[in-house]
Amino acid sequence: MASSLISCPLLFVISFFTLVSMAVARSNLSQIPRDILTQQEADRVTRLPGQPPVKFKQYAGYVTVNKSHGRALFYWFFEATRKPEKKPLLLWLNGGPGCSSIGYGAAEELGPFLTQKGTPELRFNNQTWNKAANLLFLESPVGVGFSYTNTSKDLYELGDTITAKDSYMFLINWFRRFPQYKSHDFYISGESYAGHYVPQLAELIFDANKNVSKEDYINFKGFMIGNALLDDDTDQTGMIEYAWDHAVISDGVYDDIKQNCNFKVGRSTVKCDKALNEYFSVYDIIDMYSLYTPTCVYDTSKTTTTQRKIIHGVAPKLFSKFDQWNKKPAGYDPCVSEYSEVYFNRPDVQEALHANVTKNIPYPWTHCSNSIMGWKDAPPSMLPVIRKLINGGLRVWVFSGDTDGRIPVTSTRYTLRKLGLKIKEDWTPWYTYHQQVGGWTTIYDGLTFVTLRGAGHQVPTFVPRKALQLIKHFLANEMLPSKPF
């Protein structure tokens, strides 16, 4: 697919710089039409309840992605803390599928404002990623968080394909509302099931950019995904290997799974199901998303459940049918998601965010949707898409917190081995502050893999300073330091 760009390099270069020059001209706010500025101002969030004072601007609201069906996606956008006009734009997507990038990414991981226990006040996140980029969060697909559809049958038709298409349409329309960011380098990042979302959206942008109008060209440079669901076979195999190697399951359970389960084929048997039930039962008493942190102990009569509804048809086909696979992730404070759900269901918070403006969303805001009725399509492997995008010249990084049991580092290493890329620099330590090893890197031909020591599934929650260092180096296309500093 990349050959069409290579076939006429001069035309592509001329077109590219024409686009950039047009976008730069539009980046001057005085050149933006008044009606567009009015739309931006309508989305401006002046101050959230309990928010600490900040100097950067924030915006939130809805972008329509399908007028005939009444589908609209909710976003929350933060300008960079300093010199936003010179910083790239980064879109963050959480996975699930069906889980909120607002609830997890923005409010518990990498956004500037984090929820707290026992207080309605937000705290400022000193390791917020909008120190490195202009930061955009999206609740996708419809039915997730504040995003909605006026056509109820849409909730039965969701899947990977429509999620990517709606997210792409969101970007096209968001850039029309904020044309000053058209000239900025654009990147996507995310975690977990975003191992599907991010490459699929990246592929849509990559393909569309070859034929799209000048107005809708996106200055897309690359993506980075963490603890990401990428390949059913290696993801599931790695989960079992990791659990045994980290003393989570017994030799007997491990042997039963190895003998009776074929993850490559993906078919289930009675003996396999019995062994997997024993495997998953361990994660009823410890946190699959973070093996070495406490679980949340709370009064179930006063708080929401950590179990979310099973969405049939998602990847991986075998594991996703088990109840325990569908537990919501927690955080370093294992009850943090309980605080966020209280906060985002407050009427004054929703009003400040321009969310649920018609009051017609018939269910409370939750981290992971209970309204999605099925999942139509989920390919068993994202590796063909990743190969294509690497060959197309996009920057691709994969990172992994090494205490996550959900999509463990073992799974990701098996997956990247399956990708078959040539290793240019193998398993090198990288250093964070105070001369400490932050993790390890492997540099492939076209892809960089990074581990982060001591991090669970939601890496920025567990090791926020290392995560900020990671995103800064990714955006700058600079390798992490291989020597103490």
- Number of Cα atoms under 13 Å in the Cβ half of residue 209: 23
pLDDT band at 314 (very low <50, low <70, confident <90, very high): low
pLDDT at 333 over 70: no
Catalytic residue (one of 192, 320, 369, 411) = 192
**pLDDT, position 459:** 96
Higher pLDDT, 434 or 483: 483
Residue 280: both structure tokens together:
């998953």
Average pLDDT over the chain reads 88
Which comes out higher in pLDDT, residue 184 or 1? 184
Share of the chain above pLDDT 70, in %: 86
Determine which one of 184, 196, 354, 457 is catalytic: 457
Q: Inform me whether the pLDDT recorded for 298 exceeds 80.
A: no
Is residue 457 part of the annotated active site? The answer reads yes
- Over 90: is that where the pLDDT of 145 sits? yes
The answer to whether residue 84 scores a pLDDT higher than 70 is yes
> pLDDT higher for 388 or 4?
388
- Work out the average pLDDT over 27-40: 85
In this structure, what token pair is assigned to residue 346?
A: 């407050």
Q: Is-catalytic flag, 7?
A: no
- Name the band, by pLDDT with cuts 50, 70 and 90, for residue 409: very high
Q: Which residues, at least 6 apart from 394, have a Cβ–Cβ distance to it below 8 Å? A: 202, 206, 220, 221, 222, 223
Please identify which of the residues 160, 166, 235, 404 carries the catalytic annotation: 404
Total Cβ atoms within 10 A of residue 351: 12
pLDDT, position 21: 40
Q: How many other CB atoms are found less than 10 A from the CB of residue 444?
A: 19
**pLDDT value of residue 420:** 94
Confidence of residue 318 (pLDDT cuts 50, 70, 90): low
> What are phi and psi for residue 242, nearest 5 degrees?
-65, -45
What does the alpha-carbon distance between residue 385 and residue 281 come to, in Å, rounded to a whole number? 34
Query: Directed axis angle between helix 160-177 and helix 34-43, to 10°?
Result: 120
pTM across the whole model: 0.88
* CA Rg value for the chain: 22
User: Is there a catalytic annotation at residue 192?
Assistant: yes
Least confident residue range of 60-69, 279-288, 443-452 = 279-288
Residue 316 · residue 380 · CB < 8 Å: yes
Q: What pLDDT, in 10s, does the model give residues 444-475? A: 999 999 999 999 999 999 999 999 999 999 99
Whether a cis peptide bond, with omega within 30° of 0, leads into 316 is yes
Maximal C-alpha separation, the chain: 69
